[in-house]
Structure 1
Amino acid sequence: MSETQQVFGAETQDLEGRTLSNRELLRALLRKPQFDICLVLVLLFFVMAAVPSLFTSVDPRFCELGKSTHSREPGHPFGFDIQGCDYFANVIYGARPSVMVSIVAGLGGFLVAGLLGLLAGYFPGLVDNVISRVADVLFSLPGLIALIVVLNSVPNRSIWIIVAIILVTTWPQGMRIMRSSVFSVRNREYVLAARSVGVPPLRILRKHVFPNAMAPLLAMTTLGIGGLIGLEAVLTFLGVGLQPPSISWGSQFGVAASYRESPHLFIWPALFISTMTISFMIIGDSIRDALDPKLLR
C-alpha cells in the first residue's frame, strides 16, 4: 500500500513539475518577438474567419457587372472581381473555409495520430502490427493524387467531407512520430514503477506517457497547419475542393488564373494565404525549438 501511495505521490509531483514547465515554456515563447507577431496575426485570422462582419459591412455577393475586374477605388481597397463584387469582402469571407479546413484537419490529425501512435507504441504486438500495417498501406498511396481521385468521386464536397478525407490520408506520418516517441517513454522509471504496483494502463497512458511523448507531434502539427492552408487552396484551385457558392481563397486563385490582366485577383488571396502559412510555420518552429531538450540545458 505504501508503494502505491509513493507512485501516486510521484504522479502528483510530476504533474506539478510539468505545469511549471508549461508556464516556463509559455514565458519563453512570449519573449520571442517573431512568435508574438505571428500569434497576433493568427488570432486576427481566427477572428476574421469567425466574425467577418467585423472587418467589412459589404455583402460579398452584392455585385455590379459594370465594375467587373476594376481596380481599387474609394471604399473598395481590393477592387472588384469578375462579377463586380467587392473583392475585399470576398477575401475576408474567404478566410472562413480556409481556416476551418486547416485548423479542424490539423487538430483532428493531432488527436487521431496521437491516439493511434500512443496505442501502437505502448502495446507492441497485435495492436502495433495492425495500426502500423494500415499506416503502411496509406503511406504507399501518392498523397495529392489520392486526394484528387477521392474528392473527385464525391458529388457534394462540403468542408467536413474535405476535412475527413484529409484526415484519413494524412494521419500515418503523425502516428509514426508519436509511436517512436512513446517507445522512448514507455520504459522510463516512473512508468515502470506505476506498472509494477498495478496502476491501470489507461491512467499510465493519460498521466505519464502521453504528456511526455506528445511534444514532437505537437510541433509537427503546428508546422503542418500552414501546409494544410495551402493544400485546401490547391484542391479548390484544381476543382476538387469546395464548390460554388462557397467563397474561399482557393476558388479565388482558380478564377484569377483565367484573368492574368487583372493581377489584383491573384495578389490579395496569395498575400493572405502566405501570411497565415508563414505565421503558423514560425509558431511551429518556435514551439519545436522551445521543446528541444538540447536548447533547454
Structure 2
Amino acid sequence: MAVGESQLESGTESDEGVEARVGWRYTLARIADDTTARWGLYIVAVVLLVALYAFVDSNLSRLTLGAVSDYTFANAIPIFDHPTRIPDPGEGRANVPPAFHPEGTLEYPLGTDRNGRDYFTRIVYGTQVSVMVGLISTVLGLVGGTIIGAVAGYYGGAIDDVLMRAIETLYSIPPLILVIVFTVFVGGANIWYAVLGVGLAFVPVFARIIRSQVLSVREMDYIEAARAAGVRDRHIILRHVVPNSFAPVLVYATLQIGVTILIVAGLSFLGYGAQPPTPDWGQMLNTSHGYMHSNIWLSIWPGLAIVITIMGFNLFGDGLQDALDPRIDD
C-alpha cells in the first residue's frame, strides 16, 4: 500500500474516533455505562413521575376548565386519600403508626398525621411542591447567572468590575438568610416568594462559574473570526460563547436542584415556604417534631423522602460530570 493511502486511511480512522467521542449520543452512552449516574437517573425519573402525577391531579380543575374537580385521582385510587381535607370528627384516626407497626393498619401504609390524614398520600403529593420549587428556582438562578456571567466575562473591563462586585456582595450573604429577608421584604410567607428568593440566592454561583468559562472561550480563534466578520456581540455570546461554556454550569445545576430542595424544605420548616394545608415535606417536618416521642415515623418519612430525592439528583449530577469531562477516558 502506498504511503499516501496509508496516511489517508489512518487520518480517516482518527477523525472517526474523534467524532465518536463527542456529541449527545456519546454523552448518553457514557451516562448509561456509569452505574452511579444510572441509579441517580432511575431515582430522578421516579421522583419526576410522582411529581407529575401529583401536579396533574391537584390542578385538574384548571387543566379541564372546571369540568373535573381537583384530586379526582386521589379519591378514585384506594391507596390514596384527599391530601388536604381534614377528616370529620370520628371519621379519621390521628397519629396512627405505619402498617408494619403492631398498632398499624394496611389502610394507612405510612400512618396518619395529627389531623387523621393519610401520610402516604401527603408524602406523594408533597413531591410536587419540592420538585417544582427545586426546578424553577434552579432555572431562575441559572438564567440570571448565565446572563450576568456571560456579559461580565465577554466584555471585561468596567462592566466586569461592576457586575462582579455586585455578585460578590450578594454571594457573601448566606443563602438561607438572604431568602428569608427577601420573602419578608416582598410580602411574607409564600411558596412563590420562596422560589424567587432561592433563585436570586443562587444567581451569584452560576454567574461566577459561567464567567470563568467565558474568560477562556472568548479568546478562541472562532470568536475572533466572528468578531472580524462583523457578527454582533449579542449573537456571538448567544450562539458561540454561552453554548461552549455551558457544560460545567449544567452539571452544577443538576447538583444544585438537590440543594435547592433542601433549602426550600428548611424554609417551610421555619414557616416561610408552603403554607397549610398544602402538603410539603418541610412543613410536615415542622408539624411532626412535636410528636417525636409518641410517633417518630411522622418525622422519618418526609426526611427520608428529602434524602432520597437529593441523593438521586446528586448521583445523576456526578455521573453527568464524568460524562461531560473530556479528561476522563473510557
Same fold (TM over 0.5): yes
3-state SS, counterpart of residue 327 of structure 2: helix
Out of 173, 181, 196, the residue aligned to residue 164 of structure 1 is: 196
With structure 2 as the length reference, what TM-score do the two structures score?
0.79
Q: Which position in structure 1 is the counterpart of 2:81?
A: 58
Out of 101, 108, 111, the residue aligned to residue 76 of structure 1 is: 108
Instruction: Look up the equivalent residue of 2:304 and give its one-letter code.
Output: L
Query: For residues 278 and 61 of structure 1, what CA distance do their matches in structure 2 show?
Result: 28
Q: How does 1:79-98 map to 2 (within 5 A)?
A: 79-98=111-130
Query: For residues 218 and 281 of structure 1, what CA distance do their matches in structure 2 show?
Result: 13
Out of 94, 108, 122, the residue aligned to residue 154 of structure 2 is: 122
> How big is each residue's C-alpha offset from its partner over 1:167-218, in whole Å with a ceiling of 9 and x where there is no partner?
2222111101110110011001111122112122222222221111111111
- How far does residue 159 in structure 1 lie from its aligned partner after superposition? 2.8
Query: For residues 75 and 145 of structure 1, what CA distance do their matches in structure 2 show?
Result: 41
Instruction: Look up the equivalent residue of 1:179 and give its one-letter code.
Output: R
- How far does residue 86 in structure 1 lie from its aligned partner after superposition? 0.5
Query: For residues 62 and 202 of structure 1, what CA distance do their matches in structure 2 show?
Result: 52
Out of 239, 242, 245, the residue aligned to residue 271 of structure 2 is: 239
3-state SS, counterpart of residue 295 of structure 1: coil
Query: For residues 93 and 216 of structure 2, what CA distance do their matches in structure 1 show?
Result: 62
> How big is each residue's C-alpha offset from its partner over 1:132-160, in whole Å with a ceiling of 9 and x where there is no partner?
12112212323322222332445453332
2:93 matched to 1:67? yes
Out of 12, 30, 33, the residue aligned to residue 32 of structure 2 is: 30
Gaps of 5+ in 2: 1-18, 55-72, 99-104
**Structure 1 residues 19 and 291, CA, compared in 2 at 3 Å: closer, same or farther?**
closer
**Structure 1 residues 154 and 201, CA, compared in 2 at 3 Å: closer, same or farther?**
closer
Q: Which position in structure 2 is the counterpart of 1:44?
A: 46
Q: How does 1:13-28 map to 2 (within 5 A)?
A: 20-28=22-30
Select the structure that is richer in helix.
1
CA contact (8 A) 2:37 2:318 kept: no
2:225 matched to 1:202? no
With structure 1 as the length reference, what TM-score do the two structures score?
0.88
Q: Number of paired residues? A: 281
Root mean square deviation, CA, Å: 2.1
CA contact (8 A) 1:63 1:86 kept: no
Choose 167-176 or 133-142, whichever is displaced more: 133-142
Query: For residues 212 and 232 of structure 2, what CA distance do their matches in structure 1 show?
Result: 22
Q: How does 1:139-288 map to 2 (within 5 A)?
A: 139-260=171-292, 261-288=294-321
Gaps of 5+ in 1: 1-16
- How far does residue 286 in structure 1 lie from its aligned partner after superposition? 1.0
**Structure 1 residues 178 and 141, CA, compared in 2 at 3 Å: closer, same or farther?**
same
Query: For residues 206 and 239 of structure 1, what CA distance do their matches in structure 2 show?
Result: 40
